Amino acid sequence: MRVVGIDTGGTFTDLVLAEGGTLKTKKVPSTPRDPAEALLTGLRLLCEEDGGAALFTLTHGSTVATNSLLERKGATVALITTAGFEDVLLIGRQQRPSLYDLNVEKPAPLIRRENIFGVRERILHDGTVESRPDEREIQEIAQRIMANRCDSIAVCFLHAYRNFENEEFVERRLENLKIPICSSHRVLPEYREYERISTTSVNAFVAPKMDVYIRHIEENISTSSRLRIMQSNGGAISASRARAEAVQTILSGPAAGVVGAFEAARAAGFDKVITFDMGGTSTDVSLCDKRISTRTSSNISGVPIATPVVDIHTVGAGGGSIAWLDSAGSLRVGPKSAGAEPGPVCYGVGSELTVTDANLFLGRMAAERFLGGEMSLDLDRVQYHMLKFSNDLGMSAEQAAEGVLAVANATMERAIRVISVERGHDPRHFTLIAFGGAGPMHACSLACALGIPQIIIPHNAGVLSALGLLMADVKKDLSQTVLIRAEQVDIPRLNQLFAPLEKEAQEIMAGEGFAPNQFRLDGFLDMRYAGQAYEVTVPVAEDFVAIFHQEHFRLYGHSDASRAVELVNIRLTASGIVEPPPFIRGEETDIIAEAAFLGDRQAVFASGVSATPVYDRAELRPGNQLAGPAIVAEAHATTVITPGFTARMDVLGNILIKPAVSA
C-alpha cells in the first residue's frame, strides 16, 4: 500500500513516500505565504520520481492552525455565551506567569469585546434547564453578527457539558446565516467555563482558514487519495473532521516527530528516551518513559487549549534562529528565525547570521552535500558577515561562531531540563534521540552537558517527522464531565457512563474506514481528592481508586487513602491501527567502504581546529565504527561526532553515539 507523509516546517517541508519496504524522501523549501504551495510542489516532484502513480493515503502535519493562532491571523469570531459571562476570556484565571515582571503584557483575547454577546439563558450544574434563550434576542444578535462581518461563531453556555439543549437551540436559529458554528458541547464537553470557552473560541478562530487550506490540497491531489491530518494527540484524523475540529491540529507537526522518534528508538531496543527535534525555526523536546507522554491541556501564545496533546516543550532555537546583540551588547540567539524566506546567510539571500551559518563557518557542515547536492551553501557570504558580527562583539570570528552555538545549546539544554529534571526524571537514565535537519549536529554537546550516556541518530533523521506521520494511528479522543464520588462508581456503572462515548467512537472509526476488529478503545479517568482543583488521569481498571492513590503519590510524593475521591471526567481514546513502514535490517561488517569516506576538512571544536573526516551515511554499513571528531553527511541532515565520542552503525541503520570512555 502506498502512503505519503508530509510535514510542513518553518524552513523546509519534508516528504516521505513508502511502499512495501522502500522509502523515498524529499525536502523542499517551505512557502510561508502559502504552505500548500511547497506541499504540492514536493508531492509532484516525489510522484514524478516514483512514476506518477496515484496515491492511496496522504497524512499531513500542518502548521496552518498553529501559525493562525501565533500570528493572530484567524477568523473574525462572534462568541455567544451566557449573560453575565461575556468577560470570561478577558478575566481568565488571573494567573501571572511572570510574577515580578513589571513590563509584562497580557495577550489580548482572540475575540474583540464588541463581538461577544450575552444571552439570558441558564442551565444549572445538574443539567436542569432554568431558562431558555429568547428567540427575539437571538435574532437581534444575528443581525449584529452580520453587521460586524464575523466569519465564524462560537457558542458556549454555562454548564452546557451537562445539557446542551440551549446551545443546539441557538445553532438552529443561526443556521440561516451560512456561517460556521462551533458549539462547546461538540468541541469540549467538560466543566471549567474558561478553558471550555477558550478552546471553543480557538476552534472557531482557526477552523475557517484550515477549511480553505484543506480544500485547496484536496483539489490538487488525485481523487483516489485519502487525506488525513495529524493531530496534537499523536494520531491522525480525516480531512473532513480536521476542518470541523481544527483546534485538534495546533501541535500537529511536533507530535509526529515524537511518534516517529519513539517508534524508531523502540525498534532499536530503547524505550526510555528524550526526543530532540531541532528544525529550522524551533526545537521540540519530549520525554518518553516507555510510552509517549501526553497531557490534557496546553497553552499556546497565552491561550489555554484543553484538548489532549503529546507532552512537548518548545523553544525558539533552530537552525535558522538569528544571532543578535541586545541593548547591553550581549549575544542572543532566537527566538526570531530567518525561516525559509530569506533563510540563513548561507542560502544566498538573508543577511542575519543564524545557527546554521555558525555551524558552516566552523567547518561542521559539508556545504557541497547539503540536501544531497540539490542546494549549494555560500561559505564566502557567511565568512563576510561573521567577520562583521565578530567585530561588533569584540572577538575573533571563530569565537563569535562558537558563542552562537553555545547560546543556542544552552537554550536547548534548559528545554530538556524542563521535561526531565524539573519533573523528577534523571536524564542520565535516558537515551537522547536527535533528529530534524539540525538536531544531529548538536546532540553530542547536549548529551555531554546533561550526562546522557547514549545518543541515537535515526535513519532518515532529517525527515523523521514526516516518517512519523506514516507510523501514527488514526485517533479520536472523546471526553465527558461526570463529577461523581468514586465510592458511588463500580465497573458496571463505569460501563454505563462510557457507553455513549463508545457508541460515538465506533461510528467515527467506521467513518474513517476501520472495521470493528481494526481499532481499539482505551478508557481513562480524571480523578482527584475531594476539594482539590485539578485532576490526575489514570487508566480504567477494576482497582482504579487504588491506582489513583499510587499515581498521586508518584507525582506529588504523598497520598491519603482515607480521603474521599472524586471522578471528574471520563475519557475514551479510539485508535484505528495503521500498519507502519517496516524497519529494514542489514548485515553487520567492520569494514568501512571506500565510497563512504569523502575526505577530510578543517573543523573547529572546543579542543581547537581538527582535521575531521567526512563520511557519506548512505555508504556506511551496520557494524561500522567511527571516532570523533567526524562528520556524517546525508541528504537531509548532518551528524557531528565531537571529540571524545565514538559512533557505531546498528543493524537498522541508526548511528549510536557514546562517550569514548564508556564505549
pLDDT in tens, 103-153: 888 888 999 999 999 999 999 999 999 999 999 999 999 999 999 999 999
Whether the CB-CB separation of 353 and 343 falls below 8 Å is answered with no
Contact status, residue 273 vs residue 3, Cβ threshold 8 Å: no
Say yes or no to pLDDT of 6 above 80. Answer: yes
Does 71-206 match 474-576 in CATH topology?
Answer: no
Contacts of 108 (CB under 8 A, 6+ apart): 72
Residues 298-331 have pLDDT tens digits of 988 889 999 999 999 999 899 999 999 998 889 9
- Following CA atoms 186, 192, 195, 198 in sequence, which dihedral angle do they give, to the nearest 10 degrees? 60
Question: Which cell goes with 165?
Answer: 439543549
Mean of the per-residue pLDDT values of the chain: 92
Helix 165-174 to helix 135-147 angle (10° resolution) is 50
What is the average pLDDT across 186-197? 95
Q: Cα(101)–Cα(110) distance, rounded to whole angstroms?
A: 23
**CA distance linking residue 168 with residue 186, whole number of Å:** 10
Q: What is the pLDDT of residues 516-559, one digit of tens each?
A: 999 999 999 999 999 998 999 999 999 999 999 999 998 888 99
C-alpha 534/C-alpha 554 separation (Å) is 16
Q: What band does 50 get if pLDDT is binned at 50, 70 and 90?
A: low
What average pLDDT score do residues 405-414 get?
96
What angle, rounded to 10 degrees, do the helices at 252-267 and 464-471 form?
A: 80
- Whole-number pLDDT of residue 663: 41
CB neighbour list of residue 336: distance below 8 Å, 6 or more residues apart = 316, 321, 322, 324
Task: Using the Cα atoms of residue 229, residue 233, residue 234 and residue 236 in order, give the sign of their dihedral.
Answer: negative
Relative orientation angle of helices 439-450 and 397-419, to the nearest 10 degrees: 70
How far apart, in whole angstroms, are the C-alpha atoms of residue 590 and residue 92? 61
Contact (Cβ atoms closer than 8 angstroms) between residue 163 and residue 129: yes
CATH fold for the domain made of 71-206: Rossmann fold (3.40.50)
What is the spatial order of strands in the sheet that 625-627 belongs to? 313-315, 283-289, 272-278, 431-435, 455-457, 655-659, 645-649, 625-627
DSSP bridge partners of 425? none
Number of Cα atoms under 13 Å in the Cβ half of residue 332: 12
Using CA atoms, how far apart are residues 371 and 638, in angstroms rounded to an integer? 10
Give one word for 422, left, alpha or beta, with left for phi > 0 and alpha for psi -120 to 50.
alpha
DSSP run (H or E) holding 579: none
Amino acid at 276: F
* Three-state secondary structure call for residue 158: coil
Which stretches within 420-476 are classed as H helix? 439-450, 464-471
Distances in Å between the alpha carbon of 154 and those of 237, 374, 515?
Answer: 22, 47, 34
Residue 354 backbone dihedrals phi, psi, to 5 degrees:
-130, 175
- 473, pLDDT greater than 70: yes
What are the grid coordinates assigned to 588, written together?
Answer: 553487520
Count of C-beta atoms within a 10 Å radius of residue 92: 17
Per-residue pLDDT averaged across 337-349, rounded?
87
Pairing label, strands 116-119, 77-82: parallel
Name the residue with cell 507502519: 580
What pLDDT, on the 0 to 100 scale, is given for residue 53? 56
State pLDDT tens for residues 594-634. 999 999 999 999 888 989 999 999 999 999 999 989 999 99
Q: Is the pLDDT assigned to residue 224 strictly greater than 50? A: yes
Confidence of residue 398 (pLDDT cuts 50, 70, 90): very high
Which contacts (CB < 8 Å, 24+ apart) does range 20-29 have?
A: 21/581, 21/582, 21/584, 23/460, 23/467, 23/581, 24/49, 24/50, 25/460, 25/462, 25/463, 25/466, 25/635, 25/636, 27/371, 27/437, 27/462, 27/463, 27/635, 27/636, 29/340, 29/343
Which single residue is written with the C-alpha cell 500548500?
A: 36
Write out the three cell numbers for 336: 526570531
Q: Are 276 and 443 in contact (CB under 8 A)?
A: yes
CA diameter of the chain: 83
The answer on pLDDT for 1 being more than 70 is no
Span 498-527, average pLDDT: 95
- The answer, yes or no, to whether residue 55 has pLDDT greater than 70, is no
Residue 268: CB atoms within 10 Å: 21
Between strands 3-8 and 57-61, the pairing is: parallel
Burial of 314 (0-12, 13-18, 19+ CB in 10 A): middle
**Average pLDDT for residues 417-438, to the nearest whole number?**
94
Question: Which fold would CATH assign to domain 474-576?
Answer: Dna Ligase; domain 1 (3.30.1490)
In this structure, which amino acid lies at residue 265? A
* Separation between Cα atoms, residue 69 and residue 408, nearest integer Å: 25
Q: How far apart (Å, rounded) are the C-alpha atoms in residues 451 and 45? A: 42
Angle between helices 379-393 and 397-419 (to 10 degrees): 90
pLDDT per residue as tens digits for the range 636-645: 899 999 999 9
Residues 569/482, Cβ–Cβ less than 8 Å: yes
Domain at 2-69+211-252, CATH homologous superfamily:
ATPase, nucleotide binding domain (3.30.420.40)
Q: What is the pLDDT of residue 52?
A: 55
| 54 confidence band (pLDDT: 50, 70, 90) | low
Predicted confidence at residue 569, as pLDDT, reads: 96
Residue 21 pLDDT: 77
In the predicted structure, residue 56 carries a pLDDT above the cut 80: no
Domain ranges of the chain: 2-69+211-252, 71-206, 474-576
Determine the residue type at 191. Answer: Y
Give the residue from 621, 280, 262 showing the smallest Cα distance to 462: 280
What is the grid cell recorded at 154? Answer: 462560537
Segment 47-64 shows an average pLDDT of: 76
In this structure, the number of other CB atoms found within 10 A of the CB of residue 497 comes to 17
**Dihedrals phi, psi of 73, to nearest 5 degrees:** -120, 45
